[in-house]
Each structure stands twice: as C-alpha cells, then as structure tokens.
Amino acid sequence: MKKVISILLVLAMVFALAGCGGGGADVEEPAKKVVMITDTGGLGDESFNDMAYAGILQAAEEFGIEYSVLESATADDYAPNVAASVEEGADLVICVGFLLTSVVAESAAQYPDQQFVVIDGTVDAPNVAGLTFSEEEGSFLVGLAAGLTTEGDKVGFIGGMQFPLIEKFQYGYQAGVKAANPDAEVFVAYTQSFDDSAAGKENALAQYNQGADVIYHAAGGCGIGLIQAAQEQGFWAIGVDQDQSALAPENVLCSMLKRVDVAVYEAIKLMAEGSFTGENINYSLKVAGVDISDKAGNVPAEVMEQVEAWKAKIVAGDFVVPFDAATFEAFEVPEM
C-alpha cells in the first residue's frame, strides 16, 4: 500500500512540473490575424486600396501575421464583411476608406472586444483607431507643379465621390496652382465613383478639350482612365496615393503620395506588440504622411526647387493650406 502511494505521489509531481512548463516544450502562440476590408474600389485600383494592402504585406513579412482581404463590390457589403471578419477571429480589422466609418462605429459598439482601424475616418470608441491624412498639403505641392508646368494656363482636377474628404484634395490643389500661377484656370469635375475608369477618362478628355494640359485626380480607380487619356492625347496627368508614374512614365508628371501603407503597417505593428489603442493619428506633411513623388523624373529641377521651398514653409507652419471652400476663399498667397 505504501508503495502504491509513493508511485501516486511521484506521478502527481511529474504532472505538476509539466503543468508549470518544467521539462515540457514551450507552446507557440498562434499567429495574430489581420483582415482588411476594401471599399468599392477594391484591390487593383493602383491607388488607395493597393497602398493599404502593401502595408499589410510588409507587416506580414516582419511580424509573421496571418492576413486576408475581403473586397466590397458595393456599399451593401461593408457590414457583412465586418461581421465575417469578426467571426473569422481577426485580431485586427482594417477598414479602408471613409465610406466605412459609420459601419465601423456600429460594429465597435456591437463588438467591444474587437480591435478596428478605419482609414480616413474617426470613431469615438476605445477599440477603434482612426488614421487620417492632411491630403490638402500634399495636393498643394502637386498643384504648384501643375501651375508651374502648364503651358496654356489651364489645368484640371477630377475627384471621385464629392465628400469633404475629397474636397480637401481639390482645394489644396487649387491653392497650390494659385500660389504658383495666379492666372491659371482650374477645371473641376467629380465622377461620383471610385472604380469607374471610363468615367475618369471621359471627364479627363472633356477637360483636355477645354484646354487643360495638366490634370490631377483623387478618384481611385477612375484615375486609371485619366492616365490612359493623358497617354493617348499627350497631356500631363498627376497621380494620387502611390507614385503612379509606372502606368505612363512619359505622361504622369508627378503623384501626390498618401502613405496609407505606412499608417497600416504602424497600426499592425502596435497590434503585434500588444500596444494597440484606439488612438486617432493624423499623417501630415511634417511626418511625411503626404508628399510629392516623381519617380519618372518628369518635373524639371527648377520646378522641384520651388516646390521644396513651399514644402518647407508648410512644415514650418508659416501658413495653413486650404481644405474646403471657405478656407480657399479666404486664402491669400504668402510671400516667398
């Protein structure tokens, strides 16, 4: 009987040690999972959604996260895609685009333990980080380039859906054109879409036929149509979000960089490190959240020098770039 008791005591000690990790193999924690939900522009827009996806790919390589993408064909897909992401067990749900903001707000309340990121929007909830950008500042820089490059003093702007966010691009661009070339006329059009490249091309051709020789877009996939028109007709296009010069190296003058990739990467990094909070972060020109890019080398050196001089003034806080109709109306070009 004493022998049986001794054996049982020994077994109890072995199981206790195993439970404490003594002599047992360390159990690896499962990889963190990120789900990205696109807006209706989807992947392949050569712009906004593709930039967000690039940030996920970089984070996956560095932090070993798992990831998946749910594309939204229409706005009706937003809420079901968010619900599917939560059910899928995502540690972080990244919603790309201001059009998803209201859905994220509702979902944050419904799933208080789920962590969300919304690009271009903010939600007053502890489990949502809103990542926004000073698009007007980067647009001012490409507006300068347009105003200094146009030969006929006529340039254009094509937006997607007309919301205050997209108007930030418009008015920042118009202010840059005004600062560089007060005699220049700016044509403005909205496609009311972010994925209709045919509409982008149609609006670009209409502005070109009115004399515009430089046209900037903030219209997602519609911008592909603009660049096609520029290539066919021989005028300058200005890209957005990522450097779009590869689409037409001889016809993309420059691009307004919006570092959605950096913002997404940094949000995932915080999640991977366990330090994610529902903090809203703005990416301005001062922190290189927006900028001008010319990988094709089409902007003359003397033009880029002037752009860089204005950029320094913005970063220094010497003036505030207009972002809506009221601020543009009140804008007075500062002295250089």
- The position carrying tokens 């939900």 is 37
CA distance linking residue 173 with residue 16, whole number of Å: 68
Look at residue 226 and tell me whether its pLDDT is greater than 50.
Answer: yes
CA distance linking residue 102 with residue 85, whole number of Å: 16
Domain span at residue 168?
135-257+300-329
- Residues 71, 86: one domain? yes
- Residues 55, 203: one domain? no
CA distance linking residue 297 with residue 258, whole number of Å: 19
- Residues 121, 266: one domain? yes
- Give the global pTM: 0.89
pLDDT score at 13: 45
The dihedral over CA atoms of 183, 188, 194, 199, expressed in degrees to the nearest 10, equals -110
- Residues 105, 183: one domain? no
CA distance linking residue 297 with residue 291, whole number of Å: 15
Domain assignment present for residue 13? The answer is no
Domain assignment present for residue 5? The answer is no
Cβ atoms < 10 Å from Cβ of 112: 10
- Residues 232, 216: one domain? yes
Q: What is the pLDDT of residues 79-100, one digit of tens each?
A: 999 999 999 999 999 999 999 9
- Residues 54, 161: one domain? no
pLDDT score at 28: 65
CA distance linking residue 176 with residue 178, whole number of Å: 5
- Residues 321, 195: one domain? yes
Please enumerate in sequence order all residues whose Cβ is within 8 A of that of 311, keeping only pairs 6 or more positions apart, or say none.
141, 285, 292
CATH number at residue 243: 3.40.50.2300
Look at residue 20 and tell me whether its pLDDT is greater than 90.
Answer: no
Domain assignment present for residue 21? The answer is no
Q: In total, how many domains does the chain have?
A: 2
Q: Alpha-carbon torsion 65, 68, 72, 78, what sign?
A: negative
pLDDT score at 326: 98
Helix (H) or strand (E) holding 94: strand 92-96
pLDDT score at 17: 41
